Amino acid sequence: MTDAYDFSDRIERVAPSATLAISNLAAEKEAEGADIVDLSVGEPDFDTPENIVEAGKDALDAGHTGYTSSNGIPQLKEAIAEKLRGTGIDADADEVIVTPGGKQALYETFQTLIDEGDEVVLLDPAWVSYEAMTKLAGGDLSRVDLSPHGFQLEPALDELAETVSDDTELLVVNSPSNPTGAVFSETALEGVRDLAVEHDIAVISDEIYERIVYDAEHVSLASLDGMADRTITVNGFSKAYSMTGWRLGYIHAKGDFVGEAGKLHSHSVSCAVNFVQHAGVEALENTDEAVAEMREAFADRRDLLVDLFDEHGIDVDVGDGAFYMMLPVDEDDQAWCEAAIEEASVACVPGSAFNAPGYARISYAASAERLREAVDRLVANDLL
Ligand code: PMP
Ligand code: GLU
């Protein structure tokens, strides 16, 4: 025990990521020989598409191993701007920062905008790291609960209107949503736009699950009239291209944002990994077929899980995107998840981690066989 460290208030305000904590626990148990069905971490179970891997290897062979310019290589920034223009966002390459993962893009955004005491509004259930990033920046949280509305935003717009005010600094929108899979309707996003314009609020649009949408249409918030100058669009390669370990993401925003956030970027990470950025260009330009195949596989798994739960009389508010669903469980979701892993060897994340007690988040990025096995084990242990 040492008392040499006087930890910052900032770091003491937050807990480790609950999603990563559960998947670490599952990995530890597996290392000890247990057979865990791990439905905890949000990570596609596919290999990175071959053309992307080859592009990464080619970039290494070509010697792309040094620093790049801090905000990213020009080819990737241009490919990202082109991609954003494809979803109706008025984007230029010099409005982009390429980051080591979407998480870093979000972290830089919170740090760039939030001062001590600034109000940040989250839509619950909300992904674990938004709360932690708000607290690390010193912000105060206000929350709107979408759970009573089948996790949809449109029916909760009145509550959102009551929550935001001229004092709100930042609103975080994540569609498709982690942890619910909900895809917000264009009407809902227009409602967000109206409130953001009325109260002069900046909005993070975290679109990392944008390519994993089934029976709905993804709308980029920054493409709506009035939103171009107040939206920070965050995205990443982890989910769409099954590139979680490559660590690649980006920020797009207008005006001075990139200049200001770029200061933090240059003083912290310097740049994203050089050869990974080259692989990112290939991902954006030549991977549509593989992305579509993965999306279809996710859709089949979602439908399978819904059927399996239905057989046991459990109704889930299933979303049209991402690869998550919120399973209603006991009020004490922590205890339920503990029993699930300890007794049934099935790992899920307690809804409380997303400010949604009474649910367990299931990541269905697993094979049909493992999903069936998970449900069988939960039933056998009286957890369903
Ligand atoms: N946003 C959301 C909603 C996520 O679920 C994740 C997953 N970790 C991220 C951002 C960040 O992903 P990454 O850092 O792997 O790009
Ligand atoms: N976003 C994924 C999840 O929610 C990966 C883990 C994390 O970054 O939190 O499970």
Q: Kindly give the distance from the C-alpha atom of residue 43 to the centroid of ligand 2, in angstroms, as a whole number.
A: 7
Q: Enumerate long-range contacts of 298-302, CB under 8 Å, 24 or more apart.
A: 298/212, 298/214, 298/323, 298/364, 298/365, 299/214, 300/368, 301/364, 301/365, 301/366, 301/367, 301/368, 301/371, 302/181, 302/214, 302/364
Q: Are residues 107 and 180 in the same domain?
A: yes
Alpha-carbon span 70 to 84, nearest angstrom:
20
Tell me: cis bond preceding 148? Omega within 30 of 0 counts: no
Residues 257 and 371 grouped into a single domain: no
Ligand 1 atom 3, closest CA: 178
List C-alpha distances in Å: 335 to 34, 178, 332, 338.
20, 22, 5, 5
Question: In angstroms, rounded to a whole number, what is the distance separating the alpha carbons of residues 76 and 96?
Answer: 9
Instruction: Report residue 352 as tokens.
Output: 């409380």
Pair 145, 199 in one domain: yes
Strand 346-347 and strand 37-38: the pairing is: parallel
Q: Which atom of ligand 1 is nearest to the CA of 177?
A: 3
Same domain, 317 and 246: no
**Domain range enclosing 13:** 9-48+289-380
Let me know: does 281 contact 241? Beta carbons within 8 Å: no
Residues 40 and 188 placed together within one structural domain of the fold: no
The residue from 286, 303, 327 where one domain ends is 286
What ligand 1 atom has the least distance to the C-alpha of 103? 14
What residues form DSSP beta bridges with 172?
122, 204
Tell me, yes or no, whether 249 and 350 share the same domain: no
Which residues sit with their C-beta closer than 6 Å to ligand 2? 17, 19-20, 41-42, 103, 127-129, 178
CA–CA dist 22, 8 (Å, integer): 26
Q: Which three-class secondary structure state does DSSP give residue 97?
A: strand
For residues 100 and 277, give the distance between their C-alpha atoms in angstroms, rounded to a whole number. Answer: 9
Asked if residue 180 has its Cβ within 6 Å of ligand 1, the reply is: no
Q: Whose CA is closest to 159, among 190, 195, 203, 198? A: 195
Residue 39 lies in a domain: yes
- Residue 103, in any domain of the structure: yes
Best residue for ligand 2 mutational test, from 23, 25, 43, 180 (most atoms within 8 Å of Cβ): 43
Q: Are residues 341 and 252 in the same domain?
A: no
Q: What is the CATH number of the domain that holds 370?
A: 3.90.1150.10
Strands, E, within 64-137: which ranges?
Answer: 96-99, 119-124
Are 72 and 44 members of one domain?
no
What SS3 state is found at 349? strand
Q: Which of 108, 127, 232, 250 to mutate to test the pocket of ligand 1 (most atoms within 8 A of CB)?
A: 127
Residue 217 maps to which CATH number? Answer: 3.40.640.10
Does this model's pTM top 0.75? My answer is yes
Mark which of 266, 286, 306 sits at the end of a domain.
286
User: Does any domain span residue 336?
Assistant: yes
d(CA 265, CA 259): 10
For residue 244, the ligand 2 atom closest to its alpha carbon is 5
Domain count, the chain: 2
Q: Is residue 269 part of a domain?
A: yes
Strand arrangement of the beta sheet that strand 119-124 belongs to? 96-99, 249-252, 231-236, 202-206, 168-174, 119-124, 140-145
Nearest residue to 302 via CA among 213, 378, 381: 213
Ligand 1 mutation target, pool 20, 43, 103, most atoms within 8 A of CB: 103
Relative orientation angle of helices 274-286 and 50-61, to the nearest 10 degrees: 140
Q: Exposed, middle or buried, 61 (CB in 10 Å: 0-12/13-18/19+)?
A: exposed
265 located within any domain: yes
Mark whether 27 and 117 lie in a shared domain.
no
| Domain boundary pick from 254, 286, 318 | 286
Minimum CA distance residue for ligand 1 atom 7: 42
CA of 40 to the centre of ligand 2 (A): 9
79 plus 224 within the same structural domain: yes
Scan for tokens 């310019």, then name that residue: 69
Asked if residue 103 has its Cβ within 6 Å of ligand 1, the reply is yes
Per residue of the chain (384 residues), give pLDDT as tens.
567 999 999 999 999 888 888 888 899 999 999 999 999 989 999 999 999 999 999 999 999 999 999 999 999 999 999 999 999 999 999 999 999 999 999 999 999 999 999 999 999 999 999 999 999 999 999 999 999 999 999 999 999 999 999 999 999 999 999 999 999 999 999 999 999 999 999 999 999 999 999 999 999 999 999 999 999 999 999 999 999 999 999 999 999 999 999 999 999 999 999 999 999 999 999 999 999 999 999 999 999 999 999 999 999 999 999 999 999 998 899 999 999 999 999 999 999 999 999 999 999 999 999 999 999 999 999 999
Q: Is residue 323 part of a domain?
A: yes
- Is 118 found in the same domain as 34? no
Residue 1 lies in a domain: no
Residue 3 lies in a domain: no
- What dihedral angle (degrees, nearest 10) is formed by the CA atoms of 316, 173, 281, 105? -120
**Displacement of CA 319 from its chain's centroid (Å):** 15
User: Distance of alpha carbon 305 from its chain centroid, rounded?
Assistant: 21
Cis omega (within 30 of 0) for bond into 179: yes
208 CA distance to ligand 1 middle (Å)? 7
> Ligand 1: distance of its center to the CA of 321 in Å?
14
27 & 94 share domain: no
- SS3 of 351, please? helix
* CB contact set of 295 (below 8 Å; sequence gap of 6+): 211, 212, 213, 214
